[in-house]
Structure 1
């Protein structure tokens, strides 16, 4: 078979976008969010970000302890998530591509499937060299102007412009001038944003970027050597013929589920909830001596039954030890150190979980540049049993440190009251014992009593 010449292929590449191609208009904000995801995907694959990610994962004791210490498995998780992110964007681009006037752009989904299953870039859509970086800068400009346009449209609302909040015709000359200026600003921003761009122009830019990003993922993670399908790793000869890779764009499937162990927080839908529990513990541990009973009850109410049961089982053998401990027992300092030591490596996973979830919200997707937090940096892939065991240890430590703090405060209160009575009111010495009894009562409150 004679290879197709570059000149012949050139005829099939859309060279310009006709006037009959519809303009994006109000859909510019939705398409702008897709553009932001494309930019974030590309930037997450830069040498600097990949080096930073690998360094963070290597240095994370939490990932090694709760997720996996297998670097190859971690790479598969990262690669699968990037493919899933790419799949979501490509699916949306394919849907918007149906509105293009160019039949080739309308067939983006088919062309991309062929590219990822056979490696055939039949239209030469992949960007090379510095061209991709230039287009990333161009898309960043569109994203920025889109954000400014959205703000200008909101500020143009007459209700926002009047000082008394009344709607209707603006009678004030000053406000009429402001309104005219706002309209001119909106018109200017529309001209430089995606609002006035055609579907053909925008989808062409996004489609070619997705081709380039997919190739970049292959290069960075060596997907031809590690594609995970049905529990097996296929070699490079079968990679591009794999139906499962094709399914990456055929529907909003979840390739992460193919390799997600069944007993993880993500599989149990507990990752976000456990992250909130850990963050609450972290906040309370910052000032354990002043934790109120209400705060402790709120934390306890957050715990699922399994954690309550494990906490109850852990506290019972500790009760006798805690009752016999003096205020200056060396083990008390050990509990404090253990609490801070666990939080040091566990809290980052919890905070990353919150960040990852917040980045998925609609408002964050439109204009705000993301931190590119990946699920492997969160609690999503954490082993459920191991995580619950660690959280139970945190709760026991917090309980012990909290009791120690109350004992110190109660003792200080009793000593202060005794000193004042002895020195200023010697006739009221009988009340000193009452203060001591109150201190003893305050120091005896424990979570195990609630259980």
Structure 2
């Protein structure tokens, strides 16, 4: 079964009736996700994650200083993205004529419980980049088909309006009728062309087989890169491993993952001694159980997303709002002329009542000193706000980017590497984040008041 899954496109051609058709778009989006995942696990990207991303000031101050925690988080999110792709491939596979593909959920489950030697799945072998390149070409042509069909739908709507006008003897103009007919004819040919060269005309077995192999390769790579944090990896785990905890244990205490005694012994991310107790809060992510694989996963990263406790910005449901506030603050500082009083008031109303009270209390204290310090007060606050935004802005931008990639652009065919939740405000300590935002808003108010005067 496994061997058949690894190279199903070498089988004999299947009947044309078994082509993807409208399922091409579902398959194309899954291919995009797999391509993105594949590239996110390259040596370059993993080095960047370990040496740059998890060491940025916003991440270390607001989310965690502990590499083990952050790398666990990255492993969990990438694994869940792969599970979502595997769920789609499994669903498509049930329509395949190849028995090994129609039961891909069982093959994937065997990988996840450690029954298959992952060393046989080479991420960096010569053949894998060729498979990825083939997928990228399919995605490109399917993206073009999607766009052409959208244009065609708009023209067909115009055609219906034209027929209505003609039936009611409206004077639409002969030239316009001819031009519309030419456009419709051109786009119909375009749609037919892209159907021929895209996933639309590919066999279901061939397409599912390609994606099935890439899923297995990506899973093996995940175990290679994050093996210490994924259970049942049967080829890359060190003899020492992290304590095994359920996902729900992840955010017990975002700012204190280790017991003091353990933290003194651990200076780098990576395997934790087996003698460590689960109470330390060191996490190793669990694969889903075999039965759990069949549960719907269309909600994407919701399981990892939901784990943020109320003590975090995301757990309090404020990540998107606070990101917007930080970005608005940048605009107030860099281009104050573009921000009117109504916009300032609207931004202020976005803040929770507790934050508004803190801003008001701090400002009242500042106004009492205003007459003594004068312009120097504004200049000092400008420097302070600049310094705060220097590390707040990247996290806010990544929060917006993450949401755009996962929530608002699902219909698009994107293959670029996506941002991780650990880069966003979702996992940020709520108290620290609100304190920083209060300081920024107080500083902007001081600058605004002094400059207006």
| 1:325 is aligned to 2:370 | no
- Deviation (angstroms), 1:155: 3.0
Alpha-carbon distance in structure 2 between the residues aligned to 1:301 and 1:373: 29
The residue aligned with 2:429 is: 383
The residue aligned with 1:207 is: 212
Unaligned residue ranges in structure 1 (runs of 5+) = 408-451
| 1:405 is aligned to 2:451 | yes
The 1:21/1:48 distance shift into structure 2, 3 A limit, reads farther
The 1:298/1:13 distance shift into structure 2, 3 A limit, reads closer
Which of 348, 351, 354 aligns to 1:306? It is: 354
On the 8 A contact 2:308/2:426 being kept in 1, the answer is no
On the 8 A contact 1:228/1:259 being kept in 2, the answer is no
On the 8 A contact 2:37/2:417 being kept in 1, the answer is no
Deviations 1:228-263 (A, max 9, x none): 52359897xxx9996646577343385536974551
Alignment of 1:127-206 (within 5 A): 129-157=125-153, 159=155, 166-167=162-163, 176-206=181-211
- Deviation (angstroms), 1:184: 2.6
On the 8 A contact 1:32/1:142 being kept in 2, the answer is yes
The residue aligned with 2:267 is: none
Alpha-carbon distance in structure 1 between the residues aligned to 2:5 and 2:190: 40
| 1:42 is aligned to 2:38 | yes
On the 8 A contact 2:309/2:316 being kept in 1, the answer is no
- Deviation (angstroms), 1:173: 5.8
On the 8 A contact 1:97/1:108 being kept in 2, the answer is yes
Which of 116, 122, 134 aligns to 1:120? It is: 116
Which of 77, 87, 91 aligns to 1:91? It is: 87
The residue aligned with 1:105 is: 101
DSSP-derived class of the 1:366 partner = coil
The residue aligned with 1:441 is: none
On the 8 A contact 1:275/1:351 being kept in 2, the answer is yes
Mean Cα deviation higher: 10-19 or 79-88:
10-19
- Deviation (angstroms), 1:58: 4.7
DSSP-derived class of the 1:381 partner = coil
On the 8 A contact 1:350/1:378 being kept in 2, the answer is yes
The residue aligned with 1:70 is: 66
The residue aligned with 1:82 is: 78
On the 8 A contact 1:21/1:100 being kept in 2, the answer is no
Alpha-carbon distance in structure 2 between the residues aligned to 1:90 and 1:27: 16
The 1:221/1:94 distance shift into structure 2, 3 A limit, reads same
Deviations 1:179-214 (A, max 9, x none): 444333222211110001122111111111111001
Alpha-carbon distance in structure 2 between the residues aligned to 1:11 and 1:363: 31
The residue aligned with 1:249 is: 293
Deviations 1:342-362 (A, max 9, x none): 001101100110011011246
DSSP-derived class of the 2:418 partner = coil
TM-score (norm 1): 0.78
The 1:167/1:113 distance shift into structure 2, 3 A limit, reads farther
On the 8 A contact 1:100/1:200 being kept in 2, the answer is yes
Alpha-carbon distance in structure 1 between the residues aligned to 2:154 and 2:366: 66
Alpha-carbon distance in structure 1 between the residues aligned to 2:442 and 2:184: 62
Which of 427, 437, 441 aligns to 1:395? It is: 441
The residue aligned with 2:53 is: 57
Unaligned residue ranges in structure 2 (runs of 5+) = 167-172, 229-236, 251-271, 275-282
Aligned residues: CA RMSD: 3.5
The residue aligned with 1:334 is: 380
Which of 262, 267, 270 aligns to 2:315? It is: 267
On the 8 A contact 2:6/2:209 being kept in 1, the answer is no
The residue aligned with 1:434 is: none
The residue aligned with 2:333 is: 285
Count residues in correspondence.
Answer: 395
Alpha-carbon distance in structure 2 between the residues aligned to 1:358 and 1:281: 20
- Deviation (angstroms), 1:67: 0.5
The 1:214/1:243 distance shift into structure 2, 3 A limit, reads closer
DSSP-derived class of the 1:95 partner = helix
Alignment of 1:409-448 (within 5 A): none
The 1:162/1:119 distance shift into structure 2, 3 A limit, reads same
On the 8 A contact 1:375/1:381 being kept in 2, the answer is yes
The residue aligned with 1:443 is: none
Alpha-carbon distance in structure 2 between the residues aligned to 1:87 and 1:126: 19
The 1:396/1:363 distance shift into structure 2, 3 A limit, reads closer
- Deviation (angstroms), 1:376: 0.9
Mean Cα deviation higher: 58-67 or 69-78:
58-67
Alpha-carbon distance in structure 1 between the residues aligned to 2:323 and 2:58: 13
Structure with the bigger RCO (C-alpha within 8 Å, sep 6+) is 2
